[in-house]
């Protein structure tokens, strides 16, 4: 029997278990990730800590080895699938806070880009904070955003891009909103690993959000300003 088969996740202490989950995520072992998430929940970990410390932590290692040519697309897809298994368990728990609805957001990954893990995480955290979220999925041309803005009337438009080649498309969407006289109707928040504050400003977004927690804080901040303006 191999050494790996001997590992009983529930017998590991928290640190060992998180380390093991990094390995399991790396190896794309969805069932093991789901088991690890459930064990940490039973041990009283908050869903947020499990997400950020065990799942996102593991994905960061995958990201480095993908960059360095140690892992390739098929392996990364398996890792992403395992991560989604864990996120699926956490999603209802993050949304369970019972917070009153604080606003509505339409979010999608831009045209040409199929990365959705970060966007999904942002959606989950926003829902957990009491926002209603309409998720347009991946590879969205400007028409999709416009249609959703019209039918959903959100407060916030969120866009995600993970590639340096797709991030300029965010400007296409914002410029189209401006041309159609709609830009001021929405709070536009952008995010994704290759972006930064400067880029967010340059394309005319209201804010760049470094991660999902910052997205929630920024969205809340803009919503309270909006309410103050309406009241004032």
Is 113 a binding residue for ligand B1M by CB under 6 A? The answer is yes
Is 134 a binding residue for ligand B1M by CB under 6 A? The answer is no
User: What are the helix (H) ranges across 27-141?
Assistant: 30-42, 47-49, 57-67, 73-94, 117-128
Give the range of 12-20, 41-49, 142-150, 190-198 binding ligand B1M by CB under 6 A. 190-198
Check: CB of residue 117 under 8 Å from CB of residue 86: no
Interface with ligand B1M in residues 70-99 (CB under 6 A): 73, 76-77, 80
Residue 110's SS3 state is: strand
Helix (H) or strand (E) holding 107: strand 103-109
Question: Which residue in the set 178, 194, 201, 202 belongs to the binding site for ligand B1M (CB under 6 A)?
Answer: 194
Is 163 a binding residue for ligand B1M by CB under 6 A? The answer is yes
Number of residues that bind ligand B1M (CB under 6 A): 37
CB of 143 to ligand B1M, least distance (A): 19
Among 200, 116, 127, CA closest to 161:
116
Q: Which is nearer to ligand B1M, 93 or 193 (CB)?
A: 193
Among 143, 115, 121, CA closest to 133:
121
Among 229, 195, 230, CA closest to 215:
195
Is 193 a binding residue for ligand B1M by CB under 6 A? The answer is yes
Binding interface with ligand B1M (CB under 6 A):
56, 59, 62-63, 66-67, 73, 76-77, 80, 107, 112-119, 121-122, 158-160, 162-164, 189-194, 209, 211-212, 215
């Amino acid at each position: 029997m191999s050494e790996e088969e001997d590992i009983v996740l529930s017998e590991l202490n928290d640190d060992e278990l998180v380390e093991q989950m990094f390995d399991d995520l790396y190896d794309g072992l969805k069932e093991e990730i789901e088991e690890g998430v459930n064990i940490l929940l039973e041990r009283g970990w908050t869903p947020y800590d499990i997400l950020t410390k065990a799942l996102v932590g593991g994905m960061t290692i995958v990201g480095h080895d993908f960059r360095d040519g140690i892992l390739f697309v098929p392996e990364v897809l398996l890792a992403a699938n395992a991560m989604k298994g864990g996120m699926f368990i956490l999603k209802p728990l993050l949304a369970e806070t019972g917070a009153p609805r604080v606003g509505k957001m339409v979010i999608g990954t831009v045209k040409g880009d199929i990365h959705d893990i970060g966007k999904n995480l942002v959606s989950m955290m926003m829902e957990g904070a009491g926002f209603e979220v309409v998720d347009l999925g991946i590879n969205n041309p400007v028409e999709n955003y416009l249609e959703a803005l019209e039918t959903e009337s959100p407060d916030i438009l969120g866009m995600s891009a993970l590639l340096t080649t797709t991030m300029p498309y965010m400007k296409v969407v914002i410029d189209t909103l401006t041309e159609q006289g709609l830009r001021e109707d929405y709070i536009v928040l952008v995010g994704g690993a290759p972006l930064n504050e400067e880029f967010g400003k340059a394309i005319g977004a209201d804010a760049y959000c470094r991660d999902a927690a910052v997205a929630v804080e920024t969205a809340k901040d803009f919503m309270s300003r909006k309410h103050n303006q309406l009241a004032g």
